[in-house]
Amino acid sequence: MRKKVPDEIRDIARDARSVTVLTGAGMSAESGIPTFRDAQTGLWTRVRPEDLATPEAWDRDPARVFAWYAWRAAAARRCEPNPGHRAIAAWEGRDGVELTVVTQNVDDLHERAGSRRVAHLHGSLFAYKCDFCDEPYTERLDLPRSPHERLEPPQCPRCGLGRIRPDIVWFGEPLDEGVFDRAVDAIRDADVLLVVGTSGIVYPAAGLPGLATRYGVPVIEVNPHGSDLSHELDHAWPVTAAVGLPALIEALEE
């Protein structure tokens, strides 16, 4: 039995030609990837992401940080896109619709569901670069499938000085300007912004829904528990991504 879509949400979505979807960790929760607010599992139960996803943690112990990302990349590869990812990709494929995904997530589930216009504000688990010369590292990385406490990162083959690190935006690091500008353009030009599965805690990403409101773009939140942003949005729909988004796409066909 499909979830009933509130009429005003259905109507805004149905009329939208330019759609932007801002996603956070809750988008991937029903694929089995724990959100940041969930307890870390396995080796990392005693670790707060905020303590490892920083340049300081990397400088202090690169092998531990490199192992954490290798474990997360292997875990993400074992997950599949959920019906919510597939609904967004189906919406992008509808005639006359131009849809951009702006994601805080570093997994590749949007792409694997078929989304083609995806802006990764915080990078990707599957991209690496040198921590000295910044050169992308495109050689094959044989990462173990089982979790390890420590994995020594390779040395940069180009400069020979740096270590290979995840190409991910850590806390205290600036976002890629080009990617952020693309996200702002997609929000400015949108007929609707959907905000799916984010607690709205991390900036500058968390400032994007407020920017949409200032541009006069209606903002719809899809989040079973609400978030720090709920009070400033036009519609907060307390539903999960994998239940709400397929129901919404089906309602567009009605």
* Catalytically active residues, by annotation: 122
40 contacts ligand BV8 (rule: CB under 6 A): no
| Nearest distance, CB of residue 118 and ligand BV8, angstroms | 14
Of 91-99, 111-119, 152-160, 171-179: span binding ligand BV8 (CB under 6 A): 171-179
210 contacts ligand BV8 (rule: CB under 6 A): no
Looking at this protein, which amino acid is placed at residue 13? A
109 contacts ligand BV8 (rule: CB under 6 A): no
Of 18-26, 128-136, 148-156, 157-165: span binding ligand BV8 (CB under 6 A): 18-26
Could you give the CA distance from residue 3 to residue 95 in angstroms, rounded to a whole number? 24
The only residue of 5, 26, 208, 221 in contact with ligand BV8, by rule CB under 6 A: 26
The only residue of 35, 40, 213, 230 in contact with ligand BV8, by rule CB under 6 A: 35
Instruction: Tell which residue, 119, 122, 100, 110, has the closest CA to residue 31.
Output: 110
111 contacts ligand BV8 (rule: CB under 6 A): no
Beta bridge mates, 101: 21, 118
Helices (H), the chain: 7-15, 26-29, 49-52, 55-60, 62-77, 83-92, 109-113, 177-188, 208-214, 241-253
- Structure token digits, residue 76: 């993400």
Question: Which residues contact residue 3 at a Cβ distance below 8 angstroms, ignoring those fewer than 6 apart?
Answer: 239, 243, 244, 247
Q: Computed from CA positions of residues 110, 32, 29, 62, in that sequence, does the dihedral angle turn out positive or negative?
A: negative
Of 26-34, 88-96, 143-151, 154-162: span binding ligand BV8 (CB under 6 A): 26-34
Please give the size of the binding site for ligand BV8, defined by CB under 6 A: 35
| Nearest distance, CB of residue 28 and ligand BV8, angstroms | 9
**Window 221-250: residues binding ligand BV8 (CB under 6 A):** 222-225, 227, 240-241
